[in-house]
Amino acid sequence: MNAAKFMIAAYVATWVIHGGYLVTLVSRYSKLRREMKELGKGK
């Protein structure tokens, strides 16, 4: 693997980690919205 490939790997890894975290935020948010809706229906 030449040096430039290490640079690409680091850049890709950074955005994969950020992307993964953003996905967990969105999924947690959707779950909470669903719960909110269910609570609303219960009332």
Partner 1 sequence: MKRLFPILSILTAAFLAYAFYRALWVAPTDALQGDVYRIIYYHVPSAWTAFLLFFINFMASIQYLVSNKPAARSALKWIMIVGGVLGVIAVYLPPIKAMIPAGMQPSAVATTVLMIPAFYFVVGWLFPGQKLDVLALTSAEVGVVFCTIVLVTGPIWARPVWGIWWAPGDIRLTSTLVLWLIYVSYLVLRRFSNSAQTQMLAAALAVFGALDVPLVYLSIWFFRTQHPQPVIGGGGSMDPRMLQTLLISWLAFLCFTFLVCWSRFRLELLKREVEEAHAMESLAGASVKASMPLARSSK
How many residues sit in the footprint of partner 1 (CB under 8 A)? 21
Q: Using CB under 8 A, which residues numbered 1 to 43 contact partner 1?
A: 3-4, 6-7, 9-11, 13-14, 17-18, 21-22, 25, 28-29, 32, 35-36, 39, 42
How many residues are there in the chain?
Answer: 43
Q: Which amino acid is at 16?
A: V
Residue with tokens 């975290």: 21
Gap between the Cα atoms of 19 and 15, Å rounded: 6
Site of interaction with partner 1 (CB under 8 A): 3-4, 6-7, 9-11, 13-14, 17-18, 21-22, 25, 28-29, 32, 35-36, 39, 42
